[in-house]
Amino acid sequence: MNNPRKRKKKKRKPSLAFRTNILLFTVFLLFTALILRLGILQIVHGDTYKKEVEKTEDITVNKPVPRGLIYDRNYHLIVDNEGINAITYTRSKTVKTTEMIEVAEKLSKFISINDEDMKAVKERDMKDFWILLHPEEAKKKITKAEYQKESDGELESKDLYKLQLDRITEKELASFSKQDLKTLAIFRKFNSGTYLTPEIVKNKGVTDKEMALVSENLDELPGVDTYVDWNRKYPFDSTLKSILGRTSSANTGLPKEKVEYYTSRGYSLNERIGLSNLELYYEDILHGQKGKFKTTLDKAGNIIGTESLTEGQRGKDLALTIDINFQKKVETIIENELKANKGSGNTKFLDRAFVVAMDPNTGEILALAGKRYSYDEEQRKYVMNDFAQGTYTTAYAMGSSVKGATILTGYQEGVISPGTVQYDAPIKLKDTNAKKSYTNMGPITDLTALKRSSNVYMFKTAIAIGGTQYTRPEQTMNVTDESFDIMRNRYAEFGLGKQTGIDLPGEQIGYKGSIRHAGLLMDFSIGQYDTYTPLQLAQYVSTIANGGYRMEPHIVKKMHEPVMKKGEIGPVFKEIAPKSLNKLSMKDEWIKRVQEGFRQVTQDTGGTAASFFANRPYKPAGKTGTAQAFYDGPNWVPGTVQPDTWNLTFVSYAPYDNPEIAISVVVPWAYQSSDNQMNKKIAQKVYDAYFNFKGGQ
């Protein structure tokens, strides 16, 4: 009998061998396909994949350049750039926080850190740094239950981080050594910059030794480099400095409120920009054309090389209309007069004075000066501070200086004409105090009214514009509401109550009273209602001086292309041409009539300024002003009664028959009880200085 098992075993052998062969054949096919695929990849697509592996990224980064220089009208350098040593850090996209801390720690051994940067380290910075240095201890600040809440979506990761910050103890923060804090100060600088943009770590007091140590160890300090930076330098110290303006520093960079505006225009976060006055107004000119360099990154984002594309060009240079030596002299005159008069017993509120000098024919500003003399509680003494920007940012009641505009408005409105006689005697309206001139002058013409500064002549002119007349004491008087608009519109033709157009930011127009009645219209006519800036006053008198053209004042005369060689001036890029904003809508003979009145003020016996100017060779014309005002300065407590005080002003031009300079002098809150005549003293000394200098020409 045959064994069934043997028969079954014999039948299985061919089947197993077949399956094995099939499996081997399949493996053979797979390996063949793989080899073919590898061959195709290497032979057909090899170059493509090789390029992908070796792929790099080129990124163009801007390099800031020094700002343009600023000169006076005679090309005396008044704002320069001073080269200084600097150390920078450039953060790559792939650098880890721990690597940055390691570099900061190494760098801290080679350089010192300024007190300013150390003080900038706040408690929050220390807490963040503690968490970075103690990750395990930081994790233990969070309970298991709180981690579970995060998993359940009840808390976010930022909530846990806030809990960690809140639970760091004072003892843990006190564990930082001086070296740790120094490392933290440097790390803050590293972390404040944007990717691939050099951030200045230190540029104040970097010694040659520090530069050498850092340069010798750059291989151990990835991202760190040395650099020649620059700062603004002022050869004439504080003279005109507030008008020149400020720039941000490399530490502060772009102001937070302007980050979006400037970054959209290609600025980096740490770039310096103009923050005030000329530096701000001419930012686009002074900023320059930034250099560009190419940073090459590998596929992982590491920096593998840099290449300069363009060197860039520093900002264009500005030449001002101002003679810096004349400016210095004017500032000294103001300082001396403030100090001399502050000692008087009737000058409790006196703390400032202003002078604006301009060419009435072109609008060029020849001097723009203001000083504030006040008691400093910390220093326990009086100190003199520059306040030149107050010439166009602060406004005051200007008094009789504006009477030229009142007379011309009277001519234009047909209520008076050249030679009109009016009787100067007190005006007493119902339920009001008498309004009068400093003395009763009797019958006077328009010229005498200017020469002797009659208030009553102006009062009667104003109420005539208002559609009425003064006929008897205690009468009730009503004027039309539109009379205020008429007078303000006429005054605006001179620049009073209107922006002058000066090339500086922040110009104010002054206060316009809102209440309208006859008494206030009369006050308006003698400069004791609306307020004006010293610059507006200068534009007003310039308009009279040049025959009726309101010239736009400007402080920049020319713009020049930059040149590399120190001391050389580049070709003119742009020259600011004189610009007339409007022509007075008044007859030429009327303007000449007021010019004659102004001449009599300073040249004829009885003129309110003749004792100061009648014998001066430059023969000025002008108009004095004294305004009864209320003190609202820095020592006034809001809510209390405003003390009475007097403002002193003076507007003038010289020579009267061929004007080349026009000035306004404003001394707010000059005295309380007796006239100290600071306005005329200052004006006389300013004219003496100018005609000695002849404008520096």
Side chain identity, residue 607: G
Please indicate whether residue 401 is annotated as part of the active site.
Answer: no
Could you please report the per-residue DSSP string of 537-571?
HHHHHHHHHTTSEEEPPBSEEEEE---SSTT--PP
Q: Give CA–CA dist 323/691, Å, rounded.
A: 13
Among 622, 459, 479, 477, CA closest to 525: 459
Q: Is 608 left (phi over 0), alpha (psi -120 to 50) or beta?
A: alpha
Pair of tokens at residue 471: 């006929």
Q: Please name the helix (run of DSSP H) or strand (run of DSSP E) that holds residue 353, with its range, or none.
A: strand 352-358
Residue 492 CB partners (closer than 8 Å, separation 6+): 498
Give 385's strand partners: 372
Is there a contact between 433 and 488 (Cβ–Cβ < 8 Å)?
A: no
Instruction: Pinpoint the alpha helices (H) of 74-218.
Output: 97-107, 115-119, 123-133, 135-139, 144-151, 157-167, 170-174, 178-192, 208-216
Q: Name the one residue in this structure whose structure tokens are 């990124």.
A: 59
Q: How many CA atoms lie within 13 A of 662 on its CB side?
A: 32
Q: What are phi and psi of 245, to 5 degrees?
A: 95, 175
Coil/strand/helix, residue 338: helix
Among 693, 660, 697, CA closest to 329: 693
Query: For residue 144, what are the CA distances in angstroms to 139, 151, 266, 278, 374?
Result: 10, 11, 47, 60, 62
Q: Name the one residue in this structure whose structure tokens are 């061998």.
A: 17
List 400, 437, 454, 542, catalytic entry = 400
Q: What is residue 442's DSSP assignment?
A: E
Is there a contact between 406 and 525 (Cβ–Cβ < 8 Å)?
A: yes
- Where b means 16+ CB within 10 Å and e means fewer, 347-370 reads bbbbbbbbbbbbbbbbbbbbbbbb
Q: Give CA–CA dist 194/614, Å, rounded.
A: 67
Is there a contact between 456 and 424 (Cβ–Cβ < 8 Å)?
A: yes
Q: What is the largest CA-CA distance in the chain?
A: 167
Pair of tokens at residue 224: 């760190």
Q: Give CA–CA dist 164/523, Å, rounded.
A: 67
Q: How many CA atoms lie within 13 A of 203 on its CB side?
A: 24
Cα angle: 107, vertex 110, 116; to 5 degrees: 80
Q: Please name the helix (run of DSSP H) or strand (run of DSSP E) that holds residue 513, with its range, or none.
A: none
Pair of tokens at residue 50: 């090789």
Helix, strand and coil content of the chain, in percent to the nearest 5, comes to: 40, 20, 40
Q: Give CA–CA dist 691/619, Å, rounded.
A: 11
Q: What are phi and psi of 92, to 5 degrees?
A: -85, 170
Catalytic residues: 400
